[in-house]
Amino acid sequence: MTGDTQTEAQTQTLIDALRDADAVQFGEFELAHGGTSEYYVDKYRFETDPDCLETVAEAFADRIDSDDKLAGVALGAVPLAAATSVVAGAPYVIARKQRKEYGTANLIEGELEEGEEVVVLEDIVTTGTSLVDAIESLREAGATVDRALVVVDREEGGRENVEDADVEMEALVTASELLADQD
């Protein structure tokens, strides 16, 4: 829960940044897992807005140690990992959900040592499938993964799926918090 690790003011700052970037949209949207929703959090809006990206990176950086290795889930969380890496001075790798079929055919891009502890960063979690796939890729590559940080938890079962993979998931903002005043 975000309330355990950040103040209400910090949560509101993140919500304001997401809204200022026009990342929270209302209507009828199809989601990646095939379901539909009356709201959508557009990761490309908040990840390409420098003020919002900086706010998210600073919030992530506050939750890690400078000696932590970060991993960004391709494609959406790569800007988050890069920005957080710069703010925190922590190195990062990119975790692919599946091996690319050309070049080096790596699942993990960047330097990763066997047994190295990695904190995975993700943009939005709905079912958690892409995050769990990335965690499995990192583990197959020899990483130790116990923790994931996400920008928005849509509270649709993703946290439970990630925790079933023995990974603690911390969200900067939950859907309940993001939509609290939208009734």
Asked whether 2 and 170 are in contact (CB, 8 A), the reply is: yes
Name the binding residues for 5-phospho-alpha-D-ribose 1-diphosphate. 96-97, 100, 122-130
SS (H, E, C) 17-65: HHHHCCCEEEEEEECCCCCEEEEEECHHHHHHCHHHHHHHHHHHHCCCC
Tokens of 129: 């499938």
Name the binding residues. 96-97, 100, 122-130, 154
Name the binding residues for orotate. 126, 154
Q: Which residues contact 95 (CB under 8 A, 6 or more apart)?
A: 71, 72, 73, 74, 107, 108, 120, 134, 135, 137, 138
